[in-house]
Structure formats: C-alpha cells, structure tokens
Chain A
C-alpha cells in the first residue's frame, strides 16, 4: 500500500469509523489504520463515563432517590392541603388584583403563602434539583468521554448500540434511568454476544419502565384476576420490531400478544408490601400469565423467566435478526443506501459467530466497501458537535451551555429521542435547510469562544488529513480571522460528512 493510500485510510479510520480527529490522531493511525481500529475492540466492552466523584449511582439508587423525592412532594401536598396531581385545580386567588397600582420601586415582594401554588412549585423544583443534577452529570460525562477518547471507533460502535436500544427521558423515572441504562445495560456488552446485550437491555429497569413493562400482568394470573390487571404489549412488540427481527419479518399480532404474555411478571420492585424491593428487577410469579406460549412458530412451556430467556435467545439467533442488524450497521458506518455485499459480509459474520459482536466489528473493519473514498454519511448533530470539540482538542465543561442547549437546538438532545426507534441515521432527516443554519450558528458561537490559536490550515489538515480538499484549504486560508477560519473548517462538506 502506498503511503498516500495509507494517509487516506487513516483519515477514514479516524473520521468515519471514529468520532472525528483530535490533533495528531490521524498521524497516529496512519502506520496501520486497520490495526488502529482493531486494537479498540475489547471483551470488556465500551469505556465507561467517568463520574465527577466516587462511583455512579446504579439504577436502584436512582429509583430509591426518585421514590424519596415523590414521598417528599406527597407530604408537602398533604401539609398544604393541595390536591393530588391530575385533580382539577381551582385557581388560587392572589391577594393583589391585576389592576392594583404598582408602588414605586417595583411590585411588592410576595409574602410567604402569598401564592400557595407558586410556593409549592418552587419547593418541588428545589426537591427535584438533585435528581436533575445527577442526570446532567451523566450526560456531561458521556459527551466528555466522546470528546476525549482515544478509541473513537469503540465509542461510535457503542453509540450505535445505545441508539439501537434507545430509551429516553420521557418522564421523571426515565430522566433518572436513561443514562444509567446505557451505562449498565449497553456499555458492558457491545463486544459480546448480541443475545447477552438483548437480555441485559430487556431486564434493565430503564427498558422496563420505558416500554411500560413494569405494570403488565397476565389477565388470568392470580394478581391479574384479583386486581383486574392486564397486558401491556409495548415491550414485546418493540423487541421484535426494533431490537431483533424487524417489522417486515412476518410475525403476527398473535406473536406479539403471546410474547407479551410470556413477559408478564417481569417488573421492577416498588417497595410496597409484596411489591419487591424498591428498584430491584423482579419476576412476579403471581402476575405471570400461566400456560405455555407460542411465539413465531415455537412453543415454550410455562417456565416463566426461563421462557423469556429462551424467546430472547431464539430472536437473537434468528437469521432475520442477523440480516437486519447487518444492514443497520452498514447504514450507520458507510452509507444511507449500503452496498448489499457489505451487508452480506456482516450478516455472515454474525451468523458464523452466533452473534458475537466483536466478530461483526472485525468484519466491518475488514470489509473493502467500508473504506471507499466517498464520504457516504452526513454527521448527525451529536457527531457534528463531538467532532467539533475533538478537533479543537477540548471537552465541554458546562452541561447546559455546552451540551444541552446546542444539541436541543439541533434537534438531538441526548436521551430524548421522541420515539423508541431512536435517532434517525440518514442525511435526509438531518440536512434540512434550517439544520444547516443552526450548524453554522453553532460553529460561529463555538469559534468565537474556543477557536484554537494554531494555524487554521494546519488545523484543517489535522482534522481531515488526506480528506481535506484544496478548495476548502484555500477558503480556510482566506478567512478574515481565526474564529472565521475555524467555523469554516467545521462547516466544510468534508467535515460535515464522514
């Protein structure tokens, strides 16, 4: 291989397989780009975000803290005689009618108890702050990891699986659980067997809450009969449709319902009498629908949690799962319309290894289709933002200003995908006209605050290596100022694509 080919491959390894170049990274990869990627595959899985101090709270800790917060709010409500949430609130009259004249120096400072509801809202906000702080610390550490890691391919691979098993902070419980789910259920398993990843996801409180499994009960189970409980089929459907075989695989409504029946009893303890320990994943035998189940043509005898494992195992081993995962990976790494030969390679690696994801990652690195010079992917907002920090050799420090506000503006706030299929992975979704304006505004704001003092053209070479086009290099060299040059760099077509 000639050295110019090696240089291009190094740039591809770092920017397409990885999360974008930090200064010096392309040079480091250029000795042997494939080996550079290969070395990032490891049995212990993904890197873990670093906690600000001590250890991260686990899912149980977070659920216990949430229960404590809810108890506190309930007590305040009772003390103040406020109605329960959901009840119709009658407006609290304020002592000052709107027409009252405002004294010189401004409006009167509200007295305690002046507006009971306002006081209650303030108390609630204060009580919830520790929960939000804990979530924000997780989000910040996750982005910092992506911005600082030397193993960008490992982190990109991880983010793919996190998005495959997408969960989002749709309510208070999920705001606490979503980042914990990724850390506990996804990160350890990204280079292991897919079946283990699927089992870890399906039995984590994050997924059980997110897809409404926690209260699903067999209608004919003792608990179902006694308390008139019933099925919720959300988790069963999304496991089949999104996590494994796919909606086009030919399963029927009856398969979904049968799988939902098999899952009944799988839940999270709520600390109530007979409700299981708070935050602990439990299998409630008394809520499990009795009887044998038939899912996609296979019969499972009534073995409760063992049947769940068997069904998940069958789904993970299903060739339709192999085909679907292969295609999604090819879409993520190479092209919105990936070559069938690449999909076939990944599919066969999955099937030959019984779903060993490290083997699939190796097949991806080995595939010639993954190294075509054309950059087939347009970066998602998260990828664009992370790669911008990386080329500046910086990481975000303020979660609101550096992470949440910019990514909310771009439509991709972490842990907030609107639907369980996670974030879109195609250019048509993300390259809308307004999105380009928003990227330009962010590039400009970032540059004004953080543009590196190094030579802009050299920095562009560090960022893109052999992928930098002469036209872009010229435009960057002609910029009026360093901030302008940096904004231009991160907005060039070759930086926006990978």
Chain B
C-alpha cells in the first residue's frame, strides 16, 4: 500500500479514491479498445462470496479508530496480534498471506462497502449482492452471467467451484461448474452419450450435462485423473487456478465460503471467525500459487452480503449489520490505499446507532473491476450488467494500466 510505505495514515488519504471516479474511468474504457490489448484475453477474475455476513471490523480492524476497542470489547483484535498495515488499519492475524500481498501492493481493501438497499436478511442481501440489482428482486440472473453476455459468450467463459450453482453465475449463458469427485469412465461414458440424446428435449439438463462433460475432460487433464477428496480449501482454489490457466480455460471463477454468521463466541485473534479467515487466507494462497505467472493478470474480489454490528452483542458475537470490508487481491491491481471512505466508528456516525455506515456502493467496486480489468463496455455495464446503477459510479484506478 502506498500510504503504508510512506508511513502516512490512510485515514488522512481516504477521500482521494472516490474523487477520481468518473472521468478517468471513461477514458480507460470503450468496448473494443480493451480487447485490442493482447493481455485482456489472459485476464482473470475470481470472485469469492463469503456467506453469512463477514465481520469487516475483524478482517481489517481499524485499530487507529478511537472507538474500536470500546465497541468491540472481548472480540477486538489485539494490537499486538494484528498484522499492521498503515498504523490505522491492520489485518486479522490469520490473514498472513493476504498481508504479504498487501505489503507488496498486490492487495487492497474497501473498508465500508454495502449493497444498495439497507436490509439485514442474509438471504435477501446475498440475492442482491449476486444479482446486482438496484432493488431487492430487481434482477433474477447473476451479474457475472450478464457480464458474460456483455463481453460475448464466445470470448469469455466462467466457472463455479462447488456442488451448488451460485446465483451470481445464473442466467442465459451456460456457465461451467466443477467440484471434487470421481471420474467418468467406461460404461459411464456410454451412458453419458445415451443421455445427451435423451436430454435433447430438456434444454436445462441438456446444456448442463454438455458443459459438465466438457469441464470433466478438462479436470482430467489438470489432475492427471486424480480427484480431490473432501473439502480442502487450498486444494479447491489450486484446482480453480488450474482451470483458469488451462488453454481455453475460463476467465472468471466463483467460489463460496460459508460460516461467517458469528452471532455467538466470535472470538478475536483465535476462535470461530479466525478459523474461517484462516481458510480464506488458504484460498487466496492457493490462487496465488496455482496461478503462477497468471497471478499478474488476475484480480480476486472477496465480498460478503453485509457487515456486522459495531458493538459486540450479549453473547460474545455480533448481529447483522450494514457495511463491511471488501478485499481485492491480484497482480493486476494498481498499488494504492483504501478504496472508499472510512466513516469512523463515532457514535454519531454509526448507521441506526448500531452498524458501520457504508461509504461506497459495492457495485462501484464491481463496476470498476469489470470496466478496467475485463474491458466491459460502459454502456453495457449501466444497461445490463448493473441496471439502474448510474449513481454507483465505477471506482477508477483499481487496475494497473
């Protein structure tokens, strides 16, 4: 981080990033322009959805905020355990690899983002996060699926890792999906052929099976026929990286992590949330290591549906809140400070006297990444990918030119 390297408190610098939005972004974009860049075909985007409302105040604890310790009490991340960033913000002690990335300018964060509507239902908020709608139930497909349509399904493909299809990738363009397991062989392959014939009149099952078979063939190459067993976060992300780097592999991958709903016994440097963050760190490490040279062309976005209450609750945890931290990692990022404003934890600034207040629409970050990293056309961004989002202007200056 720039400000870290210059020992300048980020908080002093915090308005800078929003102000730059708009004009500069426009200048960088333009549909075909981006694809003239030979690098764009190699550019990778990984979106990690952390479900259950990840507590941003523990992910990037604002140790320099005068109200932090008092609000957080037993779940405050201790000063001597936190991984220092700039003297104001720090990282949770389990985010060791992410810390290294931050120090080398390959990771950044937005400390107070939120979806456009103020809701505290996990499920509605995840719907909004993933559908990219301006209003609840404003969109029924996922914004990454609409991104595929906008860029052109023949030019870019996406993959989800896991047994269930996440909303963010659902829509008219068939996305790939993959999870660890056995391999089709022998009579399974014959049955698959017969099924493709039977599924001709069932478009949903037909296209799903065809895509599954294609991905399976790719996975065979990647793993030398050896399936992963069980849930190993790092192995998952290494495999995702393998898909992304394969010839003709997808450009976009989606992973989900669960278990962030820490209502009771959240813990601080150790404990429940620490375990989840250790897993998140492993996933980031797996992507970094697995992508190898391609890491330099990659952006990873880690997002959650909302944050948690600023105060510790009565049971050593936190309840549903509003703003949270969004993490960015990847070698394609431009070095820089925090993204968006820090509202502070002063009593008068808390949203509804309980939550960290949002200073940045989460769609602004997504739009900035799609525009500058994947070269998504600005009109498509406004018209189809994030409808009714004109007020959420793309954040500029996230991506190295």
Give the residues in chain A near B136, CB-CB below 8 Å: 248
Decide yes or no: A247 and B52 within 8 Å by CB, A438-B181, A440-B191, A444-B188 being known contacts: no
B: number of interface residues (CB 8 Å)? 65
Decide yes or no: A437 and B314 within 8 Å by CB, A432-B177, A491-B191, A493-B198 being known contacts: no
- Taking the complex as formed, is A427 at the interface, i.e. its CB lies under 8 A from any CB of chain B? yes
A237 B120 Cβ-Cβ under 8 A:
yes
Give the residues in chain A near B124, CB-CB below 8 Å: 247-248
- Taking the complex as formed, is A231 at the interface, i.e. its CB lies under 8 A from any CB of chain B? yes
- Taking the complex as formed, is A341 at the interface, i.e. its CB lies under 8 A from any CB of chain B? no
Give the residues in chain A near B212, CB-CB below 8 Å: 432-437
Q: How far is the CB of B355 from chain A (nearest CB, A)?
A: 10
- In this complex, the member of A432, A436, A484 whose beta carbon has the largest number of chain B beta carbons within 10 angstroms is A432
The CA-CA distance from A140 to B189 in the complex, in Å, is 31
B314 A232 Cβ-Cβ under 8 A:
yes
Give the residues in chain B near A224, CB-CB below 8 Å: 314
The CA-CA distance from A483 to B198 in the complex, in Å, is 18
Give the residues in chain A near B190, CB-CB below 8 Å: 480, 484
A233 B315 Cβ-Cβ under 8 A:
no
The CA-CA distance from A230 to B311 in the complex, in Å, is 11
Q: Which of B174-226 contact A (CB under 8 A)?
A: 174-179, 181-184, 187-188, 190-192, 194-195, 197-199, 201-202, 204-205, 208-213, 215-216
Residue of A nearest to B311 (CB): A230
Give the residues in chain A near B393, CB-CB below 8 Å: none
A424 B164 Cβ-Cβ under 8 A:
yes
Give the residues in chain B near A480, CB-CB below 8 Å: 187, 190
Decide yes or no: A436 and B209 within 8 Å by CB, A421-B123, A428-B170 being known contacts: yes
Contact with B along A76-112 (1 / 0, CB 8 A): 0000000000111000000000000000000000000
B314 A433 Cβ-Cβ under 8 A:
no
Q: Which of A237, A248, A429, A488 contacts B191 (CB 8 A)?
A: A488
A419 B315 Cβ-Cβ under 8 A:
no
- Taking the complex as formed, is B65 at the interface, i.e. its CB lies under 8 A from any CB of chain A? no
Give the residues in chain B near A438, CB-CB below 8 Å: 163, 179, 181
B164 A247 Cβ-Cβ under 8 A:
no
Q: Which of B165, B181, B271 contacts A441 (CB 8 A)?
A: B181
A253 B123 Cβ-Cβ under 8 A:
no
Contact with B along A369-413 (1 / 0, CB 8 A): 000000000100100000000000000000000000000011110
Selected A-B contacts with CB under 8 Å, 25 pairs: A212-B317, A215-B315, A216-B315, A229-B315, A230-B314, A234-B261, A234-B264, A247-B124, A420-B122, A427-B204, A431-B204, A432-B212, A433-B175, A435-B163, A435-B164, A435-B208, A437-B209, A437-B213, A437-B216, A440-B191, A441-B183, A441-B188, A475-B197, A493-B202, A496-B205
| Those 10 A-B pairs whose CB atoms lie nearest each other, nearest first | A230-B314, A411-B163, A433-B212, A432-B165, A433-B211, A434-B177, A418-B258, A247-B121, A432-B177, A437-B212
Interface residues of B (CB under 8 A from A): 51-52, 119-124, 136, 160, 162-165, 167, 170, 174-179, 181-184, 187-188, 190-192, 194-195, 197-199, 201-202, 204-205, 208-213, 215-216, 258-259, 261, 263-264, 267, 270-271, 313-317, 319-320, 352, 354
